[in-house]
């Protein structure tokens, strides 16, 4: 994906441009990666864990352990998910944040589709047979670069 370039008058700092990404651009960037971070509150503590994921019909899916920290049937009303990339040598980067409700995937037809699309084996050890879904309530992104 080609990120938008600087427009005159868009400088927000000394020499950097801070640009909002449209939702379509955010989904393109989400589809371009396979590893991101999921954030949630666990026993009153903010947890942020890396996960291998896939995008299917504008939702985020990843596999986890049914008895692990993410998979236990604790009610998580909201989670956030982030992917990003940066180029230190160019002082440039982007970030996409998806926030929304979290749920276990139990629909047989959807599970069949997801298992057929699962390209990346989760990096975490042990069995990762539970698919979970983040349904986006909000999708935002930023692109920062040197003017």
**Local confidence pLDDT in tens for the 147 residues of the chain:** 555 554 444 444 467 788 999 999 999 999 999 999 999 988 888 999 999 999 999 999 998 888 777 776 655 678 999 999 998 888 899 999 999 999 888 899 988 888 887 666 766 766 677 889 999 999 999 999 887
9: region left, alpha or beta (phi > 0 left; psi from -120 to 50 alpha) = left
- Token pair in block for residue 111: 């599970």
Q: List the one residue out of 10, 28, 135 whose CA is nearest residue 85.
A: 28
Q: In 10 A of CB 132, how many CB atoms?
A: 21
pTM: 0.81
Model pLDDT, residue 44: 86
Model pLDDT, residue 12: 45
- What would the CATH number be for the domain defined by 22-146? 2.30.110.10
Q: List the one residue out of 84, 68, 83, 64 whose CA is nearest residue 128.
A: 64
Q: How far apart are CA 22 and CA 12, in angstroms?
A: 18
Q: List the one residue out of 65, 55, 57 whose CA is nearest residue 35.
A: 55
Are 139 and 26 in contact by the 8 Å Cβ rule? The answer is yes
Domain ranges of the chain: 22-146
Q: List the one residue out of 80, 73, 75, 67 whose CA is nearest residue 37.
A: 80
């Amino acid at each position: 994906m080609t990120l938008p370039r600087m427009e005159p008058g868009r400088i927000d700092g000394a020499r950097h441009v801070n640009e909002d990404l449209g939702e379509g651009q955010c989904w393109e960037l989400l589809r371009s990666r396979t590893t991101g971070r999921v954030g949630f509150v666990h026993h009153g503590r903010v947890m942020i864990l890396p996960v291998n994921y896939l995008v299917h019909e504008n939702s985020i899916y990843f596999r986890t352990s049914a008895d692990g920290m993410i998979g236990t049937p604790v009610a998580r009303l909201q989670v956030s998910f982030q992917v990003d990339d940066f180029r230190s040598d160019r002082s440039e980067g982007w970030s996409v944040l998806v926030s929304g409700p979290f749920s276990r995937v139990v629909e047989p037809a959807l599970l069949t589709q997801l298992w057929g699309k699962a390209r990346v084996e989760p990096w975490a050890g042990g069995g990762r047979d539970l698919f979970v879904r983040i349904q986006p309530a909000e999708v935002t992104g930023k692109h920062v670069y040197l003017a």
